[in-house]
Chain A
Amino acid sequence: MPVSTRIIKRRIKSVKSTRKITKAMELVAASKMRKAVEAAVGTRTYATIARDLMVNLSARARKPHPLLAVRPVKNILMVMVTSNRGLCGGFNVNIIKKSKLVIANPERFAAHEGETPALTSLVVGKKAIAYMRKRDVPLLAAFDKMSDTPSFTDALSLTRIVIDEYEKGAYDTVVLVYTDFVSAIEQKATIRQLLPITQTNVEELLNGTTGGTQNAPLAMSEYLFEPNPEKVLNTVLPRLVETQVYQALLESAASEHSSRMMAMRNASDSARDMIDDLTFTFNQARQAGITRELAEISAGAAALAQ
């Protein structure tokens, strides 16, 4: 008997139970994903309009508002959104890879060549905490109890810290690293400048494609502010920053769940292939055993007949 049928049987059983788990996780992730995607897509219009408005205001504001003021960058704060749990395919790997762009090249933010701004991080998710510890990047704050479906209040507490620290002058620029949900099978890790509010494309800055220059301000129509520019900016700007953070949290949640769903689906599929393979081997072994037994019996009978 080449392979023991009993051993194969045991293996089939173990793969089957693994498949049950991955299948269950797939279904759970799928239903969470549906909710998360709905929330992310629903907020998109609001966030897009808010960002347009924000960019318009930044190009237009005559009196510099603290959230619009561009200062020479000496300290960078990186806000990074990851998941609390693993088993979600490349989700955390991709976002960490993206954050390396900032960690490895802080000097690209510097106003003058030769300076290297200090980097601090504010993270969401246990995976980012672990990574920042490993890389020895100081942590300003860590949120590891974010729910699967982030609420606006979650975004508020995070934004509060960011805006307070920024207005104090502790940091001169704040970048946001998160995963943009494109579709169930495609999620894109993205870097965006949160503060000051300008049109700088951080990704290009880091890749060196624009050489650190800013885009020319768009031609803006004259805006009327009611009751007055200061009041409007004071209300609108923090709100817009909150919206950007909220959107990032939602997009990341949607990406996490869809990426987990895909990972679990792949796992279930390969478990099924494995079961098929093993069943085939099992049947072969069983048949080989039967044939051998028959051969033995008929050989025995032939020996008796003689």
Chain B
Amino acid sequence: MTQNIHFKIATPERVVYDSDITEVSIPTQDGEITVLPGHIPLVSILKGGELRFKKDGQELAMAVSGGFVEVRSGSNVVVLADTAERAEEIDIERAEAARKHAEELLKKQDFVNDVEFATIQAALERSLSRIKVARRRGRR
């Protein structure tokens, strides 16, 4: 019998995904980790990027940005992300436009403060991971 992981992704706005899956690869600050059923409890910091998981033999991807991951005992994985989108929800043109905009802003280099810089950088990172996820899906 194959074991399942109860997997949930929640953002402050909504629950993006909630289902039983077989494995999940999560981008964390220390690199990507893959969680299989029966993983020991773990708390880690989520990095913006691509989150992949397998459900019924099919691989699905999502674009996530910062947050944290909690693996609970009993094969429960909870991802609390700032944003999370499924590949099919991503508007690649908008993501490209957002990336260009953020890059231009970064080139200007005359920032009012650190907070602004961090906001733009986060936006850039977000758009990059969106594009990446959307492209992957497009290829297949």
Contacts and interface: CB of A to CB of B under 8 A. Distances in A.
Contact of A53 (B12, B28, B70, B73): B70
A221 interface: yes
A227 interface: yes
Given A226-B28, A235-B68, A152 B12 contact: yes
A232 interface: yes
B45 A232 contact: yes
Interface string B27-54: 0111001000000111111000000000
B41 A50 contact: no
B33 A42 contact: no
B4 interface: no
A224 B42 contact: yes
B12 A46 contact: yes
A232 B40 contact: no
A221 B13 contact: no
B53 to A, nearest CB: 18
Q: Please classify the interface of chain A as helix (H, G, I), strand (E, B), loop, or mixed, using the class held by over half of its residues.
A: helix
Nearest to B42: A224
A113 interface: no
A46 B11 contact: yes
Contact of A231 (B10, B11, B45, B80): B45
Nearest to A151: B12
B14 interface: yes
B80 A226 contact: no
B15 A45 contact: yes
B105 interface: no
A50 B13 CA distance: 13
Contact of A226 (B13, B14, B44): B44
B106 to A, nearest CB: 21
Contacts of B44: 225-227, 232
Contact of B42 (A42, A57, A223, A235): A223
B55 interface: no
B68 A42 contact: no
A236 B29 CA distance: 13
A278 interface: no
A224 B29 contact: no
Contact of B30 (A46, A49, A227, A243): A227
A42 B43 contact: no
A246 interface: yes
B86 interface: no
Contacts of A226: 28-30, 33, 42-45
A45 to B, nearest CB: 5
Nearest to B46: A235
Given A221-B73, A227-B30, A49 B43 contact: no
Contacts of B90: none
B60 interface: no
B14 A236 contact: no
B6 interface: no
A243 B41 CA distance: 22
A246 B41 contact: no
B41 A49 contact: no
Contact of B43 (A39, A46, A236): A236
Contact of A42 (B15, B29, B30, B80): B15
Interface in B80-138: 80
Contacts of A43: 12-13
A46 B28 contact: no
Give 3 nearest A-B pairs by CB, closest first. A42-B14, A226-B44, A46-B10
Interface of B: 8, 10-15, 28-30, 33, 40-45, 67-68, 70, 72-73, 78, 80
8 contacts: A42-B12, A42-B15, A45-B15, A49-B80, A53-B80, A221-B72, A226-B43, A227-B29
Given A42-B15, A46-B80, A227-B30, 11 more contacts: A42-B14, A49-B80, A53-B68, A53-B78, A224-B42, A224-B43, A226-B45, A227-B44, A231-B29, A232-B44, A239-B68
